[in-house]
């Protein structure tokens, strides 16, 4: 919750309010979300349908078979073993609810966010609130029911501290107050507008120098007469250039940082090397027919349990962009995005080329949505190693990495999507925290929140409102 507010503050500071496009919580995209199982789209229960329709859907659709009994019996399941420090999301949910919910529903959601395998990703790191609720209540359902009736709900102590800070700041503009209550938001020119405006803003400053296409091959702590400095070595065209900095904030992938940090018994950042990443192929298609979709909504996701013959392409999901980002296009038609690969392609030695990716996306849309029309435009991009995978034990590794980073005496800190969250809001929050630590002298690594385990505070719902 506070991460999104921090992003909106940045939007305000960059003067981008008039470029924002929001998806209202009452929109068709917010209320209609689908999962494909086993051979058709299934609308997820939500506010867009009546209670009777939702109940009928849950009772009749095969995707929910076994989930009701799993939910009802969760309260009598044994408490978590006291020595269990972490486990996969799949193991966690199967232990509490049975495998149906994990395999048929949650795996689809995780595909849409992390493109990852729920039986490898960390429950403690990626569903931390549920992990904390089980610890406090010995049951997830007991905790969720308590919240539903105005009881206590968890918030990371670091988040609650930021919420208090945000509450003391000036009120946002009227437009951003509305955006704050939306389902999702983007910009008229896409989310890249935020990065472009930030770069332009920094470029206006006399004390900012942006070096592009610079290959840093090594960083190390070096003692000089005035104290310690960070030495960064760049190699290009067989020439080596050395730079010295008072402070370095590394936002590159953790495994890359581990590879270039000078290795010694005290500065070995090997825990960071264990965070892998998955590759996703993104296929954007535009159709001239504005009525080509059989249903409307945000789109649909595919769970791990979908039969292979229904998903031989190993797709993760499809976004109905025309519904999800209303106002971004001024040409009549239908725009969709197909996401392929992720952990499904983890063992691939080579990836499909652009023509193969386009054919795979079109075949998927024909099989699932009955779209046989040739797209007017198509764009294929392969995003290599784009989403870090927080595997089981992630938080323990980050704690270890934080302790090792202290050997750089506060001169090297980290932010970015390898550590505290993979999303845009998470990365902006991490950058804010690191800069605040530099200014206040309150942090030395960027990973302090992992040391000693994440701290939790418990509040009633009205106490969390801003």
Listed in sequence order, the DSSP H helices in 222-320 are: 254-260
Could you tell me which of 379, 7, 389 has the C-alpha nearest to residue 184? 7
Could you tell me which of 183, 206, 186, 182 has the C-alpha nearest to residue 194? 186
Q: Are 103 and 376 in contact (CB under 8 A)?
A: no
Could you tell me which of 70, 58, 46 has the C-alpha nearest to residue 183? 46
| Residue corresponding to tokens 């791990």 | 304
Both tokens of residue 234?
Answer: 């760049």
Q: Residue 228 phi/psi, 5° resolution?
A: -100, 145
Listed in sequence order, the DSSP H helices in 181-331 are: 192-203, 254-260, 321-324
**Rounded (10°) angle between helices 128-137 and 89-97:** 40
Could you tell me which of 179, 212, 166 has the C-alpha nearest to residue 429? 166
Instruction: Look at residue 422 in the predicted model and tell me its pLDDT.
Output: 97
* Cα–Cα distance, 162 to 156 (Å, whole number): 10
Distances (CA, A) of 395 to 115, 308, 401, 404, 456: 20, 34, 10, 14, 15
Dmax over CA atoms of the chain, in Å, equals: 75
CB-side neighbour CA atoms (13 Å) of 10 = 21
* Helix (H), strand (E), coil (C) string for 333-383: CEEEEEEEEHHHHCCCCCCCCHHHHHHHHHHHHHHHHCCCCCCCEEEEEEE
* Cα–Cα distance, 172 to 14 (Å, whole number): 13
Query: CB-based contacts of 313: which residues, under 8 Å, 6+ apart?
Result: 340, 360, 361, 363, 364
**Rounded (10°) angle between helices 192-203 and 2-13:** 50
* Cα–Cα distance, 304 to 107 (Å, whole number): 6
* Cα–Cα distance, 443 to 381 (Å, whole number): 38
- The three-point CA angle 433-438-441 to 5° equals 105
Instruction: Look at residue 183 in the predicted model and tell me its pLDDT.
Output: 78
Per-residue pLDDT of the chain (466 residues; tens, 9 = 90+): 688 889 998 999 999 999 999 888 888 998 999 999 999 999 999 887 888 999 999 999 999 999 999 999 999 999 999 999 999 999 999 999 999 999 999 999 999 999 999 999 999 999 999 999 999 999 999 999 998 887 888 888 888 888 877 777 765 677 677 777 787 889 999 999 999 999 999 999 999 999 888 889 889 988 876 678 888 888 776 778 888 999 999 999 999 999 999 766 667 899 999 999 999 999 999 999 999 999 999 999 999 999 999 999 999 999 999 999 888 888 899 999 999 999 999 999 999 999 999 999 999 999 999 999 999 999 999 999 999 999 999 999 999 999 999 999 999 999 999 999 999 999 999 999 999 999 998 889 999 999 999 888 888 776 666 5
Tell me whether strands 248-250 and 412-414 are parallel, antiparallel or unpaired: parallel
* Cα–Cα distance, 260 to 255 (Å, whole number): 9
DSSP class of residue 252?
S
Instruction: Look at residue 251 in the predicted model and tell me its pLDDT.
Output: 96
Instruction: Look at residue 329 in the predicted model and tell me its pLDDT.
Output: 80
Which string of b and e fits 148-179 if b means at least 16 CB within 10 Å?
Answer: eeeebbbbbebbbebbeeeeeeeebeeebeeb
């Amino acid at each position: 919750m506070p991460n999104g507010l921090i992003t909106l503050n940045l939007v305000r500071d960059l003067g981008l309010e008039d470029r924002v496009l929001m998806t209202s919580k009452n929109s068709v995209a917010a209320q209609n979300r689908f999962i494909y199982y086993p051979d058709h789209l299934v609308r997820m229960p939500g506010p867009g349908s009546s209670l009777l329709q939702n109940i009928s859907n849950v009772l009749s659709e095969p995707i929910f078979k076994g989930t009701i009994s799993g939910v009802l019996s969760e309260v009598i399941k044994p408490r978590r073993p006291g020595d269990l420090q972490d486990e996969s999301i799949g193991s966690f949910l199967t232990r509490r609810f049975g495998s149906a919910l994990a395999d048929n529903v949650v795996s689809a959601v995780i595909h849409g966010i992390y493109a990852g395998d729920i039986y490898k990703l960390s429950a403690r790191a990626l569903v931390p609130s549920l992990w904390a609720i089980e610890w406090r209540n010995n049951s997830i359902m007991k905790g969720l029911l308590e919240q539903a009736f105005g009881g206590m709900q968890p918030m990371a102590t670091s988040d609650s501290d930021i919420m208090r800070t945000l509450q003391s700041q000036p009120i946002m503009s009227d437009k951003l107050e509305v955006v704050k209550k939306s389902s999702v938001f983007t910009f008229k020119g896409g989310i890249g507008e935020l990065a472009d405006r930030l770069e332009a803003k920094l470029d206006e400053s006399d004390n900012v120098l942006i070096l592009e296409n610079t290959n840093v091959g090594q960083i190390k702590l070096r003692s000089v007469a005035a104290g310690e400095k960070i030495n960064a070595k760049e190699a290009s065209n067989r020439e080596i250039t050395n730079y010295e900095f008072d402070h370095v904030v590394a936002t590159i992938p953790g495994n890359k940082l581990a590879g270039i940090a000078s290795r010694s018994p005290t500065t070995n950042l090997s825990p960071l090397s264990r965070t892998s990443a998955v590759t996703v192929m993104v296929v954007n298609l535009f159709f001239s027919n504005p009525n080509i979709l059989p249903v409307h909504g945000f789109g649909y996701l595919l769970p791990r349990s979908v039969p292979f013959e229904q998903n031989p392409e190993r797709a993760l999901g499809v976004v109905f962009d025309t519904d999800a980002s209303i106002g971004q296009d001024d040409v009549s038609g239908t725009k969709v995005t197909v996401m392929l690969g992720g952990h499904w392609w983890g063992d691939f030695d080579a990836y499909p080329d652009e023509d193969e990716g386009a054919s795979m996306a079109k075949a998927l849309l024909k099989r699932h949505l009955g779209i046989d029309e040739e797209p007017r435009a198509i764009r294929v991009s392969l995003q290599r190693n784009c989403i870090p995978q927080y595997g089981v034990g992630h938080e323990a590794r980050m704690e270890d990495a934080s302790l090792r980073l202290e050997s750089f005496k506060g001169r090297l800190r980290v932010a970015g999507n390898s550590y505290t969250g993979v999303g845009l809001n998470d990365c902006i929050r991490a950058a804010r925290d690191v800069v605040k630590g530099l200014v206040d002298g309150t942090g030395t690594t960027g990973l302090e929140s992992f040391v000693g385990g994440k701290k939790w505070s418990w509040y009633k719902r009205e106490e969390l409102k801003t």
